[in-house]
Structure 1
């Protein structure tokens, strides 16, 4: 895996497609208020500050996860936490950008 791929800069659309084909769950890690202001239909809202406490709940879904937020910064942090806990995850970046790739 090259450095650009590790940083998520290569073929994010391809990875997103692969994850959605596997039935991935979309988790939006923005605050509840931000989520209520607009989100991807069918996505789950688990704010970043609660993600670590929800690991067992996320594992019970038994599906890969695509995380998103407003710009991709919080979702990058969430992806790191989920990966450390053995969850198959990809950072989808900003929710509006992700929505256009679905």
Structure 2
């Protein structure tokens, strides 16, 4: 059986996936999300991610996670892989994504 593996992407690779329509998950707090986020991103705070994951039927769906610095996104990616998600990528820090896209 294939093992899920987290991909850590740079901003350019992340934007390629975003432009292709991959679902984007912001794992920061609701307050951080309200202060600014990527257009089209869904806010699922890290402490709610496990519950959110259990409600998702399609574990083959690719997902892209980001946060404030990349650490919470990595924890979220690891959690999703543990729950059987097969194509999870860490886009890292919001500021890096925004500065790359300008």
Global fold match (TM > 0.5): yes
| Aligned 1:40-79 pairs, distance under 5 A | 40-60=38-58, 63-79=61-77
Higher relative contact order (CA 8 A, sep 6+): 2
Tell me the CA shift for residue 14 of structure 1.
5.8
Cα distance in 1 for partners of 2:37, 2:59 equals 20
2:90 alignment counterpart: 91
Which residues of structure 1 form unaligned runs of 5+?
Answer: 1-5
**Deviation per CA, 1:60-97, whole angstroms, max 9, x where unpaired?**
49631110110001000001011222221101111121
Two-structure CA RMSD over aligned residues (Å): 2.6
Cα distance in 2 for partners of 1:59, 1:50 equals 17
Whichever structure has more helix as a proportion of its residues is 1
Which residues of structure 2 form unaligned runs of 5+?
Answer: 1-5
| Aligned 1:1-12 pairs, distance under 5 A | 8=8, 12=10
TM-score, structure 1 length as denominator?
Answer: 0.74
Say how many residue pairs are matched: 95
1:30 alignment counterpart: 28
**Deviation per CA, 1:41-60, whole angstroms, max 9, x where unpaired?**
11000000000000133444
TM-score, structure 2 length as denominator?
Answer: 0.74
